[in-house]
Amino acid sequence: MKAVGFKTSLPISEEESFIEFETAKPQPSGHDLLVKISAISVNPVDFKIRQNSAKDTVLEVPKVIGWDAAGVVEAVGENVSLFSVGDKVYYAGDITKPGSNSE
């Protein structure tokens, strides 16, 4: 699936400060949901993560940015009981997981 992220913390004026790339579609497990994204937001956390996560280095695998999103549940982990496929949801994600700026 297509995603937007970064491999290194460049100034925002640099062409490669954001990159579009292909990544594998995640499979939810445990208490996770897989959400087909309908809308995202940009907030100060996105800026700080991009600015500070890869200073003086190039990440081997690009980091998907964005953690606030709305969409429809596409799949659920085996321990999920309060959500079902087809539910409309919005959320603030977890910065330890891939972001929401993806298909």
**Domains of the chain by range and CATH?**
2-92 (3.90.180.10)
CA-based torsion, 57, 100, 25, 97: positive or negative: positive
**What's the pTM?**
0.84
What's the confidence (pLDDT) of residue 29?
Answer: 97
What average pLDDT does the segment 30-57 reach?
92
CB atoms within 10 A of CB 45: 16
State how far the Cα of 23 lies from the Cα of 30, in Å rounded to an integer: 21
What's the confidence (pLDDT) of residue 45?
Answer: 87
What's the confidence (pLDDT) of residue 88?
Answer: 99
